Structure 1
Amino acid sequence: MRSAVRVQLSFMMFLEFFIWGAWFVTLGTFVLKNLQNTTDSQVGVAFLTQSIGAVIAPFIVGIIADRFVSAQIILGIIHLIGAALLWTCSGMTSFDSFYPVLLVYMILYMPTLALVNSISFRQMTDPSKEFSFIRVFGTVGWILAGLLIGWLQWEKTNSLDLTFKMAAGASLLLGLFSFTLPKTPPAKKGTEISVKEILGLDAIRMLKNRSYLLFFLASIAICIPLAFYYNFTNPFLNEIGMNAAAGKQSMGQMSEFLFMLVMPLFFARLGVKKMLALGMLAWVVRYTLFSFGDIDANYWMLIVGIILHGICYDFFFVTGQIYTDKIAGEEFKSSAQGFVTLATYGVGMLIGFVISGPIVEAYKTGAGHDWHTIWLIPAGIAAVVLVLFMLFFRDTNKDTVVKH
């Protein structure tokens, strides 16, 4: 790959995830503080837009980008529209007007996660060696967004409307920049449209593999407590008085980056089952630390809970992607990844977003919330998933590749 193209793709990834990190981390706090008369349940509804976008995304990518319009053109158009929608969100004062705009935005944004990958892969001769260097700039973008919010003290001064304006500016820049990216014409132009292929449902036969079926169900179940983290970590940290909470949360992405580098060493030594189990155990430990942590003597618990994000995400989700690739075989590699993404970020997190809001609402107190009890609930869910997984999951050599 030419150096100029590598720089282009790296900057594209940086902006793509800077945009998301600029407002998503503090969304819960924005809903509760900047919008009038909102509830914890509405925080869950706001985050639910991600799952709706994840379910719809394969249709946009699979139908339009794969068959009709070049990926870089669609990416540019979406981000230009997105800039206007994000700027509109910044001025909203009621949830009823805010939610439809956010929903439209997430339906448009979620497909761009696949588009930036597609644009990158099409320029590479060996994605297994080249992609990680490009993708890491996305993590850098997310981290920088969080650090900026913390440094500018927008949470403390109740100025989170500026997060949407910052994201809108970055979206405008990426929208214009996208038209300069390498041409990525439709890969399946003129081919028949198959809904099963677009949703990855061709890979459903992988569930005949008992071990993979258990992993698949565990993936959906573990995304339920994951939704608690996305929804309420930032409101929780701000409510208990942590300074620059969004900036502190960026340590989770720093941890993710570091654990990504050492994953091959762990994978070679531990194997699939132990890697997945460690990822789930990290969720149990993280939420338990949040439950007992505070801003004083147990401050370290909050920080360790945030840093555990690297193990929580990399050891379970990245290992799961590798395991899915192994089980799928050559025929269903692409559709299998789409299938598991639809199940986790679509179905699993959708359930989590729906139930987390009412649960947090139920433990509201006069002074705030009973966070000790709240965090023990996702910890308990993750613990049950972990125990069942350890009891029933088997990863044997004779049961690796699904028979088509």
Structure 2
Amino acid sequence: MMFLEFFIWGAWFVTLGTFLSQNLNADGLETANVFSTQSWGAIIAPFIIGLIADKYFNAERILGILHLVGAVLMFQMYSATHVGVFYPYVLTYMVLYMPTLALVNSVSFRQMSNPEKEFSTIRVWGTIGWIVAGLTISYVFKWDTGEGMLQNTFLMAAVASFVLGLFSFWLPKTPPVKKATVEKRSLSEILGLDAIKLLNNKNFLVFFVSSILICIPLAFYYQNANLFLTEIGLTNPTGKMTIGQLSEAFFLLLLPVFFSRFGFKNTIMLGMFAWAIRYLLFAYGDAGELAYMLIVGIALHGICYDFFFVSGQIYTDAKAGEKHKSSAQGLITLATYGVGQLIGFWVAGFASEYYKVNHTSDPFWQNVWLVPAGIAAVVLFLFAVFFKDEKARTAL
């Protein structure tokens, strides 16, 4: 289940920017509009899970239905010939797909006696699925080596979605938790709004704002990285981008070491610093003698993501207290994958269009990558100045 869940996502989302540019001739703002569907899906997902799935349906059944419908929508995306036709399908798809990320976790947790120890061995198969999708695109079918071939990634994702949709009905039964055994959750709690009072804490407010702002550089990576690597001529770009997922798994294991030795503030600052460095490497690297700079930039994904986002989730959990743990995580998710990346995708689209229209003496991609590098550096500076250092035992 976990393998297929993330195989589906990795099968089309990594190369989406390249597909939109090469196959559908989308401009920067049209591309931003398409990528923003992920954010809209993240914003709407709590309503589907919190207000519908958690109360009325077995998790495995709604998971199956969503993926079967998703397979049909993915086939329509495969058949689309214009971004105007493509957009309604991708928007509907992302609204239905984003809730499945919570559903697969729900199915997993309900079958475990000790989730803290058991879940990581299940979740790692999601990372493996994403990696296999990228390697399949680059090294098996070589769809990212010629124009027009990326259309097939949607067909592959449709087949995988159909398989997972059917398979889901054979997963262990995961019925809604009986109302008598749990406290009824309000809409504000589902959306994370119950945890809004945490923003009264200056440190958490600084972290919260930084989380939103750092998602702008993150959106640049999702939206532009594959297109950038393809256009400058790096061979097998999609396969090479899986180095980022390998790095993510590796640095996740090192995260506790950094926490204990350097504390939360220094750990999260290292994550911000890595964002700035990776985009400088993208700005000045090339597919020739300086290709190693691009590979290092991709490999920094582990530090960029784990040291900021994962450590931020841990920090949020510690700050929230027992009463607001789930609400606080919902608030951070809404702020980052919802609001933060929504802003980020539009900034990335605007930057791309701006430098296409306003030609300068510097290469196009160098100008584009210097924008998120500068944003990450500014966020790092603001966080370093305004976040008061906390001892590891109080911060975590």
TM-score, length-scaled by structure 1: 0.93
Post-superposition CA distance 1:221-251 (Å, at most 9, x none): 0001110000000110111011111101011
Q: CA 1:188/1:96 → structure 2, altered by over 3 Å: closer, same or farther?
A: farther
After TM superposition, list the pairs within 5 Å mapping 1:4-403 onto structure 2: 12-35=1-24, 37-151=25-139, 152-158=141-147, 159-187=149-177, 189=179, 194-364=186-356, 370-396=364-390, 400=394
- Judged with a 3 Å threshold, the aligned counterparts in structure 2 of structure 1 residues 153 and 395 are, in CA distance, closer, same or farther, namely same
Letter in 2 for 1:373: N
Q: Percent same amino acid at aligned positions?
A: 59
Q: Distance in 2 between matches of 1:209 and 1:358?
A: 34
Amino acid at match of 2:171: L
Q: How many Å separate the matches in 2 of 1:188 and 1:277?
A: 43
2:74, 2:337 → 1: CA distance? 22
Letter in 2 for 1:42: E
- The whole-number CA distance in structure 1 between the counterparts of 2:244 and 2:134 is 10
Check the 8 A contact 2:264/2:392 in 1, yes or no. no
Q: 2:219–2:341: 8 Å Cα contact kept in structure 1? A: yes
Given that residues 48 and 99 in structure 2 are in contact (C-alpha distance below 8 angstroms), is that contact kept between their aligned partners in structure 1? yes
CA contact (8 A) 1:328 1:401 kept: no
**Cα RMSD after superposing both structures:** 1.9
State the TM-score, normalized to the length of structure 2.
Answer: 0.95
Q: Decide whether the 8 Å contact of 1:68 with 1:189 is kept in 2.
A: no
In 2, distance between residues paired with 1:376 and 1:401? Answer: 33
Letter in 1 for 2:175: P
Q: Spell out, residue by residue over 1:241-270, the C-alpha distance to the aligned partner (whole angstroms, 9 max, x if none).
A: 111111010110010011112222222111
Encode CA deviations 1:313-338: one digit per residue, 9 max, x unaligned.
Answer: 00000000000000011111111111
Q: Give the SS at the match of 2:113.
A: coil
How big is the shift at 1:192?
5.2
- How far does residue 391 in structure 1 lie from its aligned partner after superposition? 0.8
Gaps of at least 5 residues in structure 2 are none
Aligned length: 390
Change (3 A) 1:356 1:329: same
1:23 counterpart letter in structure 2: W
| Amino acid of the structure 2 residue aligned with 1:182 | P
Asked whether the equivalents of residues 278 and 315 of structure 1 are also in contact (C-alpha less than 8 Å), the reply is yes
One-letter amino acid matched to 1:389: F
Stretches of 4+ moved more than 4 A in 1? 188-193, 365-369, 397-402
Q: Contact 2:263 / 2:390 at 8 angstroms: preserved in 1?
A: no
Alpha carbons of structure 1 residues 110 and 34: separation in structure 2 relative to 1, 3 Å: same
Equivalent position amino acid for 1:17 in 2: F
SS in 2 for 1:363: helix
Classify the secondary structure of the residue corresponding to 1:364. helix
Residues 206 and 213 in structure 1, CA contact (< 8 A), matched pair in contact too: yes
Alignment deviations for residues 268-296 of structure 1 (CA, whole Å, 9 cap, x no partner) = 11111011000000000000000000011
Amino acid at match of 1:173: V
Residues in 1 aligned to 2:240 and 2:310: alpha-carbon distance in whole angstroms = 23
| CA displacement at 1:157 relative to structure 2 | 2.2
| CA distance in structure 2 between the aligned counterparts of 1:265 and 1:278, rounded to whole angstroms | 13
CA distance in 2, matches of 1:362, 1:240: 19
Contact 1:200–1:337 (CA under 8 A) maintained in structure 2: yes
Structure 1 unaligned spans of 5+:
1-11
1:379 maps to a residue whose letter is A
**SS of match in other structure, 1:332:** helix
- 1:346-401 CA-to-partner distances (Å, cap 9, x unmatched) read 00000001121121111127999611111011000000000110111014359958
In 2: Cα distance, 1:136 partner to 1:395 partner: 32
